[in-house]
């Protein structure tokens, strides 16, 4: 009987969850025969061995699965299998050192042109479960024995893809950062991160799919992104020492590695290579986010965006730093890479009022450049903020040569001026109403 690979996975998972042991074992055997190198298959069989209480078989199975994950390009999955071995009481330090040897910056195996093994497509036709005369014990033993048979590990990649962030570290730093990691095994709807909570860990999705979203005051969710195998996330709140800016939840079964990094800042201070790798990774991610989401870059192709970035200067300002002061001449355009900037009228005056707070991908400083008037409000860092600055002369040349950009900033300036005027009028009316006696 032929079935699809995806339906066979679902069948076996369901039989494990309903304690239909015989059917689950036969499904697992079919999965292993269909693709012994599929990481999801390995996790399904792990669940089967756990549900049947076969710790004697679980240890060798996890060992072979971790070894396969390392050499087939699934480093995060290797962490997952190793974490379960550790929970069984085994010394996993040699296994962790093997992961570091393969995926640290000192490895001669990783390359940006590397690959990793891919599973059979879900719609592939494979042999379905069929009853056998063998006992459950025999079949489970055969599954575990076959899982460790390297002759079935065909077409291993010659070069492996690096792991985000971690592969920028040398072996010693790699081992230091990954101390104390743990495995989160998730079902559909389980949260990894909740918006607003403190950030003291970062994560790698070893297997599965995750949804990134924000919620408004009414509880309505706004989808931001989807994360898949190999994605790293959660490091931004850690680096910026800020609450989580979005929630992350699993869309199905998922395996997520959590690296407790509450001391990552201190480690970065002690290990310059860690600080350099972390800065490079987060800066690259922030810039990618900016180029993909900022209206400023929309009129340009990907190559043009990268060329344009060369004309920006990046710098970091601390909380309460006055970036622009009301009444001064405009110096250029600012893009918020990370952090927040408050727009304030009459800073430190009797009529001080916060007009707006700008976040990542938003811009400021354009009104004085477009209107050729002094800066109309002060701009103050609400917290530690990373900015990109484009000098006035280049901004002027740019909007003259790109009509869409000039139109965008003209409309943005008009809208901001109107919003500020409306806000100030509301405040003035509220003050007048305080003296009305009825």
- Average pLDDT on 167-175 reads 87
Superfamily in which the 182-262 domain is placed by CATH: Jelly Rolls (2.60.120.10)
- Residue 336, beta-bridge partner list: 387
Q: What is the DSSP string of 367-430?
A: HHHHH-S--SSEEEESSSEEEEEEEHHHHHHHHHH-HHHHHHHHHHHHHHHHHHHHHHHHHHHH
Domain boundaries along the sequence of the chain: 2-162+170-177, 182-262, 302-432
| pLDDT over 60 (residue 275) | no
Query: Within a 13 Å sphere around the CA of 48, how many CA atoms are in the beta-carbon half?
Result: 33
| pLDDT over 60 (residue 254) | yes
* Cβ proximity of 355 and 423 under 8 Å: yes
The fold for domain 302-432 equals Jelly Rolls (2.60.120)
Phi/psi region, residue 241 (left: phi>0; alpha: psi -120 to 50; beta: rest), is left
Q: Of 77-91, 228-242, 338-352, which range is least confident?
A: 228-242
Cα 133 to Cα 130, 136, 181: the distances in Å are 10, 9, 43
Closest CA to 52 of 140, 134, 135: 140
Phi, psi of 126 (to 5 degrees): -135, 165
- Each residue's pLDDT tens digit, 182-218: 899 999 999 999 988 887 788 999 999 999 888 877 7
pLDDT band at 411 (very low <50, low <70, confident <90, very high): confident
Closest CA to 22 of 126, 137, 127, 128: 137
- Highest mean pLDDT: which of 45-54, 255-264, 277-286, 347-356? 45-54
The pLDDT of residue 115: 92
Given this chain, do its domains 182-262 and 302-432 carry the same CATH topology? yes
- Each residue's pLDDT tens digit, 313-331: 888 888 999 999 999 988 8
The pLDDT of residue 383: 87
Query: Does pTM surpass 0.75?
Result: no
- Average pLDDT on 371-400 reads 86
- Average pLDDT on 358-387 reads 86
Coil, strand, or helix at residue 109? coil
Closest CA to 43 of 14, 2, 4, 84: 84
């Amino acid at each position: 009987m032929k079935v699809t690979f995806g339906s066979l996975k679902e069948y076996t998972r369901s039989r494990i969850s309903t304690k239909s042991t015989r059917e689950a074992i036969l499904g697992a055997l079919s999965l292993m025969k269909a693709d012994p190198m599929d990481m999801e298959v390995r996790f399904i069989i792990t669940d089967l061995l756990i549900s049947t209480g076969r710790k004697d078989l679980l240890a060798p199975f996890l060992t072979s699965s971790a070894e396969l994950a390392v050499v087939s390009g699934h480093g995060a999955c290797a962490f997952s299998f190793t974490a379960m071995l550790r929970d069984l009481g085994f010394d996993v330090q040699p296994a962790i050192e093997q992961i570091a040897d393969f995926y640290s910056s000192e490895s001669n195996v990783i390359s940006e042109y590397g690959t990793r093994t891919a599973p059979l497509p879900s719609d592939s036709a494979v042999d379905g479960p069929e009853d056998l005369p063998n006992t459950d014990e025999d079949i489970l033993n055969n599954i575990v024995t076959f899982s460790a048979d390297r002759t079935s590990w065909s077409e291993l990649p010659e070069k492996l893809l690096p792991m985000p962030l971690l592969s920028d570290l040398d072996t010693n730093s790699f081992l230091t950062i990954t101390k104390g990691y743990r495995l989160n095994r998730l079902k559909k709807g389980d949260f990894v991160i909740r918006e607003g909570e403190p950030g003291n860990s970062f994560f790698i999705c070893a297997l599965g799919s995750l949804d990134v979203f924000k919620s408004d005051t009414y509880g309505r969710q706004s989808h931001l992104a989807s994360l898949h195998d190999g994605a790293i996330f959660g490091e931004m709140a850690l680096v910026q020492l800020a609450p989580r800016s979005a929630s992350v939840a699993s869309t199905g079964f998922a395996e997520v590695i959590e690296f407790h990094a509450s001391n990552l800042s201190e480690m970065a201070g002690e290990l310059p290579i860690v600080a350099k790798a972390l800065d490079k990774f987060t800066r690259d991610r922030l810039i990618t986010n900016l180029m993909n989401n900022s209206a400023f870059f929309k009129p340009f192709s990907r190559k043009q965006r990268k060329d344009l970035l060369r004309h920006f200067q990046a710098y970091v300002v601390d909380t309460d730093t006055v970036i622009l002061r009301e009444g001064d001449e405009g110096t250029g355009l600012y893009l918020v890479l990370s952090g927040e900037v408050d727009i304030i009228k009459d800073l430190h005056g009797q009529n001080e009022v916060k007009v707006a707070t700008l976040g990542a991908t938003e811009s400021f400083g354009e009104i004085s450049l477009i209107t050729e008037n002094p800066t109309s409000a002060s701009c103050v860092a609400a917290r530690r903020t990373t900015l990109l600055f484009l000098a006035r002369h280049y901004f002027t040349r740019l909007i003259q040569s790109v009509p869409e950009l000039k139109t965008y900033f003209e409309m943005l300036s008009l809208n901001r001026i109107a919003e500020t005027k409306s806000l100030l009028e509301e405040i003035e009316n509220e003050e007048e109403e305080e003296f009305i006696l009825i």
